[in-house]
Structures are given as structure tokens and as C-alpha cells.
Structure 1
Amino acid sequence: MAVEVRQVRTKAERKEFIRFPWNIYRNDPELGKNWVPPVISDYMNTLDTDVFPLYEHADLEMFTAWKDGEMAGTIAAVANHRHQEFHDDRVGFWGFFECINDQETANALFAAAAVWLNAKGLDTMRGPVSPSMNDQCGMLTKGFDTPPVFLMLYNPPYYNDLVKNAGHGIGQELLAWYIDQKIIDIERLRKIAAHVMKREKLSIRTLNMKDFDNEIELIRDIYNKAWEKNWGFVPMTDKEFNYLAKNLKPIANPHYIYFVEDSDGRAIGFSLSLPDVNQALRHVNGNPFSPWGFLKYLWYSRNISMVRTITMGVLPEYRNKGIDSILNTHIADYGGQHGVFASEMSWVLKANEAMSKLAKVIGGKPYKEYVIYEKRIS
């Protein structure tokens, strides 16, 4: 039978869209071993145009594919107007792609997204971006043998073939760096950090949870200034940043969130790392807020052994001065004192040689690779 593509219109259909990946991963023992089910309530909000603040400046459409009377795939298309204004281009995005191993189904999904994006005046589609560059990005191409860390994507290897066979080329390659803190020369790092702090007259502190809102404002300000020139970057609005901060606050450990300050007490850099709660979430089947799911989440959270460094930011005038050494030293020190000896630095553009050099200095290895694909659609 031919593939039928339907637009998602109701809340029930949105939930059906979100639940579809269970069909892909639970039916495959190897994939199911490493896949972490998404938190259903989080995805319901992320794909709700009345709730998620991205949609104040972006349009969303969701599609499902059906074959032989069964759902066979999903895709979302996003027209992010702030991206178009900031980069002066006509790039649209696709994400939340899940599909059976069937090229006809994949082609139908990509075609539906392309037609919708084209109708919005866009000439290029880029993805997976779910749903923005400030969220989950990239299709896994290497590192299928280990689970993804918090807020990173996982997919079957054949997804890459489906995308490439549908005419998409490589837009950017991303890396995830694994850092085994047991092999870090921590004494050397401490000496470097102390030297930089003395030379630049700097100090370091953790995030103050009692002043959370103002601390988040500091992070937002540095983040938007530090990442302004990065590929694909779009400054987050106050609403977007506050929404993200509110959702991450329950899992934040202030001892993994650092500010570096100058001699006047002005924050000039920060580092944001979070416990890899995926180690607990993989046991709750997408429902950590159900009574049984919450108990499971608490139980498995006791032994989280890894953190993810999501982002670091340094004001432009303090770049290339070794500020990162101060931040990395404190992350490693605190982790080591509390039995957490592994971290992932992700994601990092493969083309970003400065960040790759930094990762290597602290003993990092690029153990996972991702691709953001791109295709002209005009």
C-alpha cells in the first residue's frame, strides 16, 4: 500500500506522535538496550504551540506516516523566524524524526516537511533539530553502543541511510567528548587554573540557588554574547531561557554550575553541567511523574555516575586567556570528591578546533559523532 501522511491536529494525536518511537526501539533488543524513552510530559509541552515559548517566533507542523494501516514514522517541521532574521537566510528545520526501515516512508515524511517549509518561503531544510538549535540536535552516526546522556539524541544506524537516500547532505558534524576524570592530571590543571586566576585577578563561585532568577539572567547574558558568532546560533529570548531554566532547576546541582568573576565581581564566564539523569530516566518508561515511575527515578538517581557539560561561555574580551581551565578544574575536583569520574562535553562542532583542543587537554576522547543534514528544497 502507498504511504499516507497525516498532519497532527489533536492532543491525542500529538501523544500518539510522541509514543511512536516505542515501536522502533522496544522491538529491537540492541536498540532498546541503549535507548532512553523521552519524558512524555516534556515532549507534550515542547510540541504544544500554546506552551513552548519558541513558538512565539516560530511555526510548527507535525506529520505522521501510515503504511498498511499502521503508523510507520513521524517528523516535525519548524519555521524559526528569529533564525531567518539573525542569519539572513531561508533555512527551515526538521526534527522528531522516527521511522521504520523503509525508504518510501522516509521519503514521504521528508517530502511533507519540505512542501510545508517551502510554503513558508524557505529554500533549505536542516535537521534533525528538535525543535531548535537550543534544544536537541544531530543524528547519531557513531557511538551506538552506549546510551545517550541527558538531552542528547539516539537513533538506529539505518536512519542515516534513510536521510542520505532522500537527498540530504552533511551540513555540520558534531562531537561528544568523553572525559575520564580518573586519568586527568588534576594537579597540573590546578596549577594552570591558579596561574590564570592570579594573572587575570579572577575568582570562582558556584551558582546561588537562593538567587536563582538573577543567576539565570547572568548566564543568559554571557551565553548570548559568547555564542553570538557560532554556526546556527540564535539568541534565546527571556521567555525561552526562563522556561528552560525552570525545567532544569529540579535536577541542577549548584556545585556543577560555576561563575568566574573579575576583580570587580562581574561575571565574565560560566560553565553549566548537569547530572546525567538519563541513567535514571531509562528505567521509568517515559513517566517519571507517575507514583511507581517517581520511586524508580529516585532509586536509580542515587547512583548517577556521570555529568554532562552542556555549555561554557566566556565574554569575548576574556577569550583565549585560559578561563576554561578554571572551570574544568572545579568540575573535576567536585566530581572526584563525590565519586563522579566521568563527564561528557557535548555537543561540540567538529570544525571548532579550539574546543577540540580544550577537550584533548583534559583527557577527552570523541566517542560519539552526530550529523546535522541539509538539503535545498526550492
Structure 2
Amino acid sequence: MSIEIRQVHTKQERKAFIKFAWKVYRDDRQLKENWVPPVISDYMKTLDTEAFPLYEHAELAMFTAWKDGSMAGTIAAIANRRHNEVHGDRVGFWGFFECLNDQGVADALFAAAADWLKGKGLDTMRGPVSPSMNDQCGMLTKGYDSPPVFLMLYNPPYYNDLVQKAGHHVGQELLAWYIDQKIIDIARLRKISAHVMKREGLSIRIIDMKNFEREIELVRDIYNSAWEKNWGFVPMTDKEFDFMAKSLKPIANPHYIYFVEDSNGRTIGFSLSLPDINQALRHVNGNPFTPWGFVKFLWYRRNISLVRTIVMGVLPEYRNKGIDSILNTHIADYGGQHGLFASEMSWVLKSNEAMSKLAKVIGGKPYKEYVIYEKQIA
């Protein structure tokens, strides 16, 4: 049968694009048990080029594949001008890929994305990136036996075969580290943390939620400075950062957002961890804001047992001085006292030996692996 590619234009088509994922996961027992349906309203905003601030400097095209009169796959293509300005290349991105186990359908989707990206003057496609490196990225290659944590992706194993057979190769490998707080030598960590703080003249505090906007400015400045030389990193604009911060604020626990300050009160490092609300979201089928969905979300949220450490940032002049030990000590200490006995540190480039060493020191194990693929298209 012939495969038809259609570009998404209307709000109704966008919602159908998002809802297609349910078709992929509903018939496979293991996938259905571990997949966490996306929050439909959040994805609707992320894919809204009039509302999501990324699209002030990026363009988006969404495509659906149809076979035998039914939708059989989805993909989005993203041309991010800021990425190419920062890195001096001509890379485009693909994301939001969902597909039945059909190579012909996958090939047609990648061809549609590649043609659109080439039309924007780009010579390489990289993904999955949904829709930027500051959002969700990476295709799962190891760790299918447990659900993803908040803002991490999940996919069937056969997706990797579809991508590779379509001519894509591994660009970067990412790790998610699982840290069992119950086996951490917290007394030792406290001693190390206290020593570093005394030696460097530092102090630590939690975020001041009453002055949220001011605190977010501190996070943004350190984040953009600390990560500027990381692979694929693009500094976030003020609008992007504010949008992200406001969306995460309702689920934030201030005791997992720490600032390290020097003796003059200058913030020199921070860490951002969030409760793994996927443990609650997996029960609401993508609709936590309906009356019944909200009740179920609140019910399951009571028993969240894991936090995800999304990002740590330290100013360049304070790197390799043990600041991370201060942050990790407080995350583990508070979690252990309040029933959250596990954390995930993600994502970390597999090539980032310093972060891997840190994760091992605090008892971490790399239990999930992801890949970002690349392909020359010009």
C-alpha cells in the first residue's frame, strides 16, 4: 500500500498528532506498563508556534504518515536559528517521532523531515530532539524495564532499528544514573561538604519562592555560563527560561533547589531537582486537569519516591573544587529524611567523565542509556 505524508496545520490535527502515540503503546503489555502518556495540554503548548517562545528563533513543521487510511507515524522537523548561530553549523532537528513497526513508514517520515530541513538550507539532521536540547531529547536504547522519570523519553526498542535502517548513525550517547539514597554514606558526604564549604568560604540555601523571579534570574545566568561549552548547548532566551520556570513552579519543592554562595553573597552554583511526578502522571492517561484526572494525580503524588536531578551549574572559576559534593549532600540528606530514597541524575553525556565520576562516588549506576542520532542530508 502507498504511504501518504500530510503536514499538520490546524489545532485539531496537532492534537491528533499527539494522540497517535497511544496507538503505538496500547497493544504491547510491557510498553504500556512503562510508558508514561504525555500531558496533552503541555504538548499542545510546546507545538504551538504562536505560544512557545522557542519559535521566536526557530521554525517547526509536523508531519503524519498514513497507510491503509490510518495514521501510522508522526515526526516534527525543527530549524533552530540560534543553534546554528552559536555552533556555526547547519544542523536541523527531528523529534516527536512515533511510528508503527514499519520501515516504509519510518523512511517516509524521515524523508519528509529531511526535505523540509534541506529547504531551510540545512545539511544535517539530528534527533530525537523534542523540540530543543533544553527540552526532551534522546532515544532510549537500554532500560526498558522501568518507566521514564519526569521530562525523559521512552520508546519501543524497534525505534532504534527504524532510525538506523533509515541511514542515521550515533551522534552522542547519554546516560541516566540511578542513585539509591539508602546506600549512600551520608555521614562521609556531610564531612566532605563541610570541608569544602569551610575551605572556600561558602554557604548554601534553598530557593526563596517568595522572590521567585529574582531567583530564576540567578539560575538563568549561571546555567548559561556554566553550560556554554557543552555539546549542543544553546543559551536560553529570557522568554524561554521564564516560560520553563513558570511551567515547573507548581511542582517544585524548594528543598530540592539549592544555591551555593561565596562569602560576599554571590551565587556561584545551583542545582535543580524535581519530584518524579511521572509516578503520578502515568495513572491519568495524559489528562491530569480533568476533575477525575486531577483527583488521581493528587492521590498518586502522595507516594512519589524519587527525584530527578535535572541540572547542576557552577561558575567556571569554581569548577573542580567540590561544589557538587555540597549540592549532592543536601539533596540526599533531605530526600532520606522525607521518604524519597532514590534519585536519577539525567541526562549526562557518556563522554562527560567528570560527571560520571561524580555519579559513581555517590553510588550511582548507569541504568538507562539514550542516543542522539545524526544523518547528513545534503
Q: What TM-score comes out, normalization by structure 1 length?
A: 1.00
CA RMSD of aligned residues (A): 0.3
1:196-220 Cα deviation digits (max 9, x unpaired)? 0000000000000000000000000
What corresponds to 1:298 in structure 2? 298
Matched, 1:97 2:94: no
Question: Which residue in the other structure is 2:50 paired with?
Answer: 50
What letter matches 2:226 in structure 1? Answer: A
1:123 positional shift: 0.1
Residues 251-266 of structure 1 mapped to structure 2, 5 A cutoff: 251-266=251-266
**How big is each residue's C-alpha offset from its partner over 1:33-70, in whole Å with a ceiling of 9 and x where there is no partner?**
00000000000000000000000000000000000000
- Percent of aligned positions that are identical: 82
Alpha-carbon offset, residue 246 of structure 1: 0.3
Q: Which amino acid aligns with 2:311?
A: T
The letter of the residue matching 2:144 is F
Counterpart Cα distance in 2 of 1:367 and 1:77: 30
SS at match of 2:183: coil
SS, match of residue 245 in structure 1: helix
Hey, what does 2:75 align to over in structure 1? 75
Q: Is residue 2:352 matched to residue 1:349?
A: no
Tell me the alpha carbon deviations over residues 86-112 of structure 1, each in whole angstroms, 9 at most, x when there is no partner.
000000000000000000000000000
State the alpha-carbon separation in 2 of the partners of residues 212 and 138 from structure 1.
Answer: 30
TM-score of the two chains, using structure 2 as the length reference:
1.00
Match for residue 279 of structure 2? 279
Q: Partner letter of residue 265 of structure 2?
A: G
Amino acid at match of 1:31: L
Query: Which aligned runs of 4 or more in structure 1 are off by greater than 4 angstroms?
Result: none
Residue 29 of structure 1: CA displacement?
Answer: 1.0
| Cross-structure match for 1:205 | 205
Which position in structure 2 is the counterpart of 1:31? 31
- The answer for the alignment partner of 2:21 in structure 1 is 21
Aligned equivalent of 1:241 = 241
- Deviates most, 22-31 or 264-273: 22-31
Q: Secondary structure at the match of 1:232?
A: coil
- Tell me the residue number matched to 2:84: 84
What is the rounded CA distance, in whole Å, between the counterparts of 1:295 and 1:344 in structure 2? Answer: 26
Offset of 1:27 from its aligned partner?
1.4
What secondary structure, in the 3-state scheme, does the structure 2 residue paired with 1:182 have? helix
| Secondary structure at 2:147 match in 1 | coil
Q: Alpha-carbon deviation of 1:26?
A: 1.0
SS at match of 2:121: coil
Q: For residue 298 of structure 1, what is the amino acid of its counterpart?
A: L
Helix, strand or coil at the partner of 1:37: coil
User: Which SS does the other structure have where 2:15 is aligned?
Assistant: helix
Q: Which position in structure 2 is the counterpart of 1:187?
A: 187
- The corresponding residue for 1:323 is 323
Alpha-carbon distance in 1 for matches of 2:111, 2:312: 37
Shift of 1:30: 1.1
Gaps of at least 5 residues in structure 1 are: none
The alignment partner of 2:101 has SS state of: coil
2: CA distance, partners of 1:276 / 1:120: 38
Tell me, in whole angstroms, the C-alpha distance in 1 between the residues paired with 2:369 and 2:78: 24
- How many residue pairs get aligned? The number is 378
Q: Deviations over 1:124-176 (max 9, x none)?
A: 00000000000001000000000000000000000000000000000000000
Q: Offset of 1:372 from its aligned partner?
A: 0.1
**Is 1:154 the counterpart of 2:137 in the alignment?**
no
2:110 is aligned to: 110
How far, CA to CA, are the matches of 2:243 and 2:137 in structure 1? 19
AA at the equivalent of 1:369:
E
- Residue 334 of structure 2: aligned partner: 334
Give, in whole Å, the separation in 2 of the partners of 1:300 and 1:268: 36
Deviations, residues 185-237 of structure 1 (Å, cap 9, x unaligned) = 11111110000000000000000000000000000000000000000000000
State the 1:28 CA deviation.
1.1
